[in-house]
Amino acid sequence: MATVAEARERLKQMGRQRLRFWRMQNIRRIVQIAFLLLFFALLAVTVYPLRSPMRVDLFFLADPLAVLSTFLASREVVWSLVPLALSVLLLTVVLGRFFCGWFCPMGTLIDLSDRFLVRRTRRAAGTVGFPQVKYYLLAAVLVSALFSVQIAYFLDPFGILTRTVVWVLFAPVALVGRLLTGSPWVAEWAPSLTHIPYIPESQPHYRMNLLAALLFGGILALGLVSRRFWCRNLCPLGALLALLSAWGIVRRQTREGECIECHRCDRECKMGAILPGGRRYQARECIYCYNCVSVCAPGATSFPITLRREGFETGTNLHRRRLLGFAALGALWAGISAGDLGTKKVGNMPIKASSPFRIRPPGSLPEEQFLQKCVRCSLCMKVCPTNGLQPALTEAGIEGFWTPVLIPRIGHCAQFCTACGEVCPTDAIQSFTAAEKKYLFIGRAYIDRSTCIVWAQDKKCLVCDEHCAYRAVYWKVVDGVRRPFVNDFLCTGCGECEAKCPVQPVAAIRVTTLGDLRHLPREAQKRFYLRHLETKR
């Protein structure tokens, strides 16, 4: 009878344990969905004017990879980036690689995709894995940053996800919202939908949206190979957190003599962290999803707070030659990019050599520093009310790929908008006021006299003058006709004249980087502007 009673008690204990971890698993899923919704909510409110009570760049502030690569590339510590990123790193040291399994929105979307989109066609979870590759990619990213060239943006999960949402999803969502708000049927049957907040006045669109969609779709499609293939094998942020998770105090334990070696735990482990046999696991790969606990039939698996090392493996099995090879690739990419900076110096004046239309947002740092700090988060593009900020293609050379450039023909830099400086997480675009914009010179307009209606056809046209917010267009009589000119001391390069010019397809007045004074301190730009006013008096 004692044996039967012990068995019953053991079954009750197993049931209580499985119930406890089932609850933990559900709590984890709730936290995952909550942070995914928070991610989308912060992007939704990233519109002009900013009214969010929370910082819209919150996830980038908590991204250790973006923060570390920015510090290395710029040789400067941006103290506003330190608290959240450092907290994530310290918690990872203490608790393990929990961030990937609980908080990362990219991981949550991959989990949802694996569960609902590719579940039936997916191979077994533990069949394919190259976990060392992410460490090699991390080495390439950090070595490139040491040479002051940013490439973290191409592999950083927050950057990838943000760009996909902004460039690919924002435009169709805004289109649907505009159709709802303008529909008479909706106005009659659901009048509350005619006042949808955070819908831009004009329909946004972004170039490079197809490439962003293909990259993100490829990451999700890797679930056909194995669960969380991206997180397990390719994510450099996961590699950085994995390196710090070897000392965590929450460790998977399998009670001696109770494991029946059914191998369900290693088959269900989405990260392939559990080694054959089920008793040992790679601590650096565990993201605390508790799948192994939920499928353990005898209830032999648990995650107590302990320092015991039974079954606790921390090796990475990195090949030194491959590690050095990827580090060399990072240095090589930095060298290639350095040969195409798009900026050369003649004396003390930087001459824009790659494209005369590489117009940066106001408040941007000098070009070299800007490229070192910009993480291509696309928040400035999302918040731009005119949709004029677009990802760079060739305007800024190889190193400036996907950085924000102003395309005035799409949208100008609005006179009273300061949002891009408010949302930039790394201070690549420094904050500024609307009053300061009159001397933050990002370019200068010039009139193409061969196509201008007034110059080429001797006809009347006042469009550029009427729309110039800074009164930089003035008139002089030439050959008996009043003709427009641009005041170099007043034109800031906002591009509104180019946006409104009726000449098609290329405007007769265009903004170029000639007149860009970002290489000067802000006070020097102000003195440049005030000197003209004093001379005018």
Average pLDDT over residues 282-286: 92
Which of 162-166, 261-265, 510-514 has the lowest average pLDDT? 261-265
Q: What is the pLDDT of residue 192?
A: 66
CB atoms under 10 Å from CB of 514, counted, come to: 14
Band (317; pLDDT cuts 50, 70, 90):
confident
pLDDT(525) > 80: yes
Q: What is the pLDDT of residue 112?
A: 93
Average pLDDT over the chain reads 87
pLDDT(347) > 70: no
pLDDT(42) > 60: yes
- Are 528 and 520 a contacting pair, CB within 8 Å? yes
* Chain-centre distance for alpha carbon 262: 42
C-alpha 409/C-alpha 497 separation (Å) is: 9
Classify each residue of 350-381 as buried b or exposed e, where b means 16 or more C-beta atoms within 10 Å of its C-beta. Answer: bebebbbbbbbbbbbbbbebbbbbbbbbbbbb
Q: What is the pLDDT of residue 371?
A: 92
Q: What is the pLDDT of residue 348?
A: 53
**What are 421-457's pLDDT values in tens digits?**
999 999 999 999 999 999 999 999 999 999 999 999 9
Average pLDDT over residues 171-192: 77
Q: Please state, for a pLDDT cut of 90, what percent of the chain lies above it.
A: 58
pLDDT(537) > 50: no
Average pLDDT over residues 279-302: 85
Instruction: Give which of 166, 191, 168 is closest to 180, Cα–Cα.
Output: 191
Q: What is the pLDDT of residue 52?
A: 86
Q: What is the pLDDT of residue 189?
A: 73
Q: What is the pLDDT of residue 466?
A: 94
pLDDT(193) > 70: no
pLDDT(352) > 70: no
**What are 119-178's pLDDT values in tens digits?**
655 444 445 568 889 999 999 999 999 999 999 999 999 999 999 999 999 999 888 887
Q: What is the pLDDT of residue 18?
A: 60
pLDDT(396) > 90: no
C-alpha 403/C-alpha 399 separation (Å) is: 9
Beta-carbon contacts of residue 295 (< 8 Å; ≥ 6 apart)? 264, 265, 268
The CA angle 230-135-34, to the nearest 5 degrees, is 45
Average pLDDT over residues 241-258: 88
Check residue 97 and report its DSSP letter: S
- Are 403 and 159 a contacting pair, CB within 8 Å? no
pLDDT(341) > 70: no
- Are 149 and 334 a contacting pair, CB within 8 Å? yes
More confident: 129 or 369: 369
